[in-house]
Amino acid sequence: MDINKLLLLLSDGKYHSGSELGELLGVSRTSIWKCLPQLHSMNVPIESLKGKGYRVPGGLDLLNKKIILESLPESLSSGIDLEILLSCSSTNDYLSQRIVVSNAKEFQVCLAELQTSGRGRRGRAWVSPFGKNIALSLGFVIEGGVDSLSGLSIVVGLAIAKALEALGVKNVGLKWPNDIYVNNKKIAGILVELSGEATTRWNVICGIGLNVLMSEEEGRGIDQAWTSLSQYVEVDRNEVVVQILRQLILLVDKFKMESFEAFISEWSNWDILLDKDVKVEPGGLVGRAKGINAQGALVLDVSGQKQLINAGEVSVRVK
Ligand code: BTN
């Protein structure tokens, strides 16, 4: 049975009897009942009530491939291979196994309603409960030496900031290298990974995690101040994906064609660390943040001396 179709029927939040669902899906009501463990294992908050049937309280805002592709300009949608998964360990991992096999289109996109082992930067876990946030990976190929990649993660951050602004969110900021903040709380993070063995042809995967509808309870285990898009604007997850893809593809294409320098001054408009005293870990280096250089490194003024901090496994906090 197609579990996607069952979820779609339940997405209105109303009660549906087992026999009604079975009839609509061309299966027995026992088959519907047998799907419950799978839905529970994905943490879909499904309820069943004797005499009334099944419902998902509050309904579901499910991702929809047709809506997303049709909402994008044809010039963009024609270059995208889009896959929406109900559940996977991590969309970055999923795409890394696909991108080498199939890159018929310029961009491979994978979205998942649930990630069971979502990964963040610096080996941290990333929380994405079923149907609540956006877990999106964009895969593409970049030709050129390793220099051709510097600044890419900054560009991806800019794209997400612009997408949030286009959705009407105020007070969006970027924290080097690529965390997205709203009102000083983290709303999205980016994990750029390279795969393939070539040194002049890189398989790039940009993973984006954006909190959209996550409740306090669902985000309880997160050990830093965080926020969700629904706190600021009325949201439809498909529209959020459309805005992200629009900005992302536009900027990644620009990045592939022009040099990173084209983005440096734009970064300063969003830079929440600019002119702040910060501490870099590991190491504990303290200095005043002075923006980024032509490679996307963070520039620090340390007692009058310029020091460069490269992204990778470091974290920067305002002192
Ligand atoms: C961070 O700020 O630590 C980066 C978070 C990146 C999370 C996204 S969600 C989609 C993609 N799949 C993953 O496993 N991680 C990234």
Give dist(CA 231, CA 85) in Å, integer.
26
What pLDDT, on a 0 to 100 scale, did the predictor assign at position 176?
95
What pLDDT, on a 0 to 100 scale, did the predictor assign at position 97?
86
Catalytic residues: 121, 186, 317
How far away, in angstroms, is 125 Cα from ligand 1 center? 8
Give the orientation angle of helix 237-257 with respect to helix 261-270, to 10 degrees: 140
What pLDDT, on a 0 to 100 scale, did the predictor assign at position 99?
67
Q: Are strands 201-210 and 277-281 parallel, antiparallel or unpaired?
A: unpaired
Task: Give the 3-state secondary structure of residue 100.
Answer: coil
What pLDDT, on a 0 to 100 scale, did the predictor assign at position 235?
87
What pLDDT, on a 0 to 100 scale, did the predictor assign at position 150?
84
Residue 186 Cβ inside 6 Å of ligand 1? The answer reads no
Q: Which atom of ligand 1 is nearest to the CA of 92?
A: 12
How far away, in angstroms, is 283 Cα from ligand 1 center? 25
Are the CB atoms for 218 and 109 separated by under 8 Å? no
What pairs with residue 55 in β-bridges? 47
Give dist(CA 91, CA 89) in Å, integer.
7
Residue 293 Cβ inside 6 Å of ligand 1? The answer reads no
145, 149, 90, 78: which is closest to 117 by C-alpha?
90
What pLDDT, on a 0 to 100 scale, did the predictor assign at position 200?
83
Give dist(CA 252, CA 250) in Å, integer.
6
Give dist(CA 216, CA 191) in Å, integer.
24
Residue 126 Cβ inside 6 Å of ligand 1? The answer reads yes
User: Which tokens belong to 174?
Assistant: 């970027």
Per-10-residue mean pLDDT, the chain, length 319 = 91 96 94 93 92 94 97 96 95 86 82 96 92 96 83 96 98 96 97 80 94 92 94 95 98 92 93 95 93 94 95 80
Q: What is the pLDDT of residues 208-263, one digit of tens each?
A: 999 999 989 999 989 899 999 999 999 899 999 999 999 999 999 999 998 898 89
Q: Which atom of ligand 1 is nearest to the CA of 122?
A: 3
How far away, in angstroms, is 119 Cα from ligand 1 center? 5
What pLDDT, on a 0 to 100 scale, did the predictor assign at position 162?
98
Give dist(CA 42, CA 3) in Å, integer.
12
What does the angle CA 98 – CA 296 – CA 208 come to, to the nearest 5 degrees?
A: 35
67, 247, 244, 248: which is closest to 140 by C-alpha?
248
What pLDDT, on a 0 to 100 scale, did the predictor assign at position 102?
59
Give dist(CA 78, CA 222) in Å, integer.
37
